[in-house]
Amino acid sequence: MESTDFSQADFSPIDCPSGADGADAESYYLAGRDFFKGDAPEKCVISHSEAVADKGKALKLCAEVMRGAHAALDLEYAQVVNHLACTGRPSPCGVGCSACCKQAILSNPFEAVLIARHLAQSSERADLFWGNFGRWDARTRELRATFPNWAARMVLHGDDDGSFAHGAFTEPCPFLVDERCLAYAVRPYGCRSYLALSDACRTPTEPGKIPGRQGVGVGMSSGFHQRRQQLLGLLWGLFGVSAARTRGHFLPDLVKLALVKDIDALLGQCIVPEPL
């Protein structure tokens, strides 16, 4: 795969392939959003992307699809929050709380490109990220080093050998600045789906519980997560990769690779190598 320029100019709306359906950038967003409607055909994504041979453009296409998927999740999330409020159980999630922003956040290349585009649109945002990334990288490097082999075992054999200590990963996310997220508008599924149900999320009352990890994943509580996995399978298929051989990877690492234009590494970090 060849490297592609991920400069700000390169993150203009996707140049869609010409075709009878007259697809444009907005149609990719709508395809991602409508994929989660019960009557949305799976072909709504495939038909818009079959003609995209350039992997740089394909990644931008996938980023637009992810943006649409996020919009679908936001609607579901809002319904859950409103239901909780109407039944006297309002969620404590809100501006100023960053309890859930101090753990390992895993993502995929498609969400990483979406976030990289967001950072590239503001030199201030980009500079803040790079400053924080250096500290995060140094402080988490040893923990992160255990992840690839652990993840490969999980993907290939479903075996958690305990070598990756997720509970010990408590470093603040490099997107966090003054208790606010630099990438909030384009935050990934893991962050977007998380919902605290009580103040025990921020201040756990049970011994040994870690702040920010007592909530629920809205997407996991419905059929959204399963449908999203199907969507990711279609997107990975653009690159000739079976979703069964992919894994999430640390979001900051992936965004860094998108910003420095290394498509090979960006995709490769999330692909489990074939066993020897």
Question: Which tens digits make up the pLDDT trace of 155-183?
Answer: 667 777 777 777 788 999 999 999 999 99
Predicted confidence at residue 207, as pLDDT, reads 86
Q: How confident is the model at residue 250 (pLDDT cuts 50, 70, 90)?
A: very high
> Does 86 reside within a domain?
yes
Residue 110 resides in a domain: yes
% of the chain surpassing 70 pLDDT: 84
207-212 long-range contacts, Cβ below 8 Å, gap at least 24?
210/103, 210/167, 210/170, 211/99, 211/102, 212/98, 212/99, 212/100, 212/101, 212/102, 212/103
Answer whether residue 128 is part of any domain: yes
Residue 129 sits in which domain range?
8-268
In this structure, is residue 190 part of a structural domain?
Answer: yes
Query: Is residue 274, in this structure, part of any structural domain at all?
Result: no
Nearest CA among 29, 76, 87, 104 for reference residue 222: 76
Record the pTM. Answer: 0.85
Number of domains in the chain: 1
* Segment among 54-58, 99-103, 106-110, 119-123 with least mean pLDDT: 54-58
Q: What is the mean pLDDT of the chain?
A: 83
In-domain check, residue 1: no
User: What confidence tier does 149 reach under pLDDT thresholds 50, 70, 90?
Assistant: confident
pLDDT of residue 162: 74
CA distance 31 to 44: 6
How open is the CA angle 236-241-242, to the nearest 5 degrees?
Answer: 90
Q: Indicate whether 276 belongs to any domain.
A: no
Phi/psi-derived region of residue 159, left when phi > 0, alpha when psi is between -120 and 50, beta in every other case: beta
The answer to whether residue 3 is domain-embedded is: no
pLDDT at position 155 is: 65
Neighbours of 215 (CB within 10 A): 20
On the question of pLDDT at 53 being above 80, the answer is: no
What is the tens place of the pLDDT at every residue in 198-231? 999 999 988 888 899 889 999 988 889 999 999 9
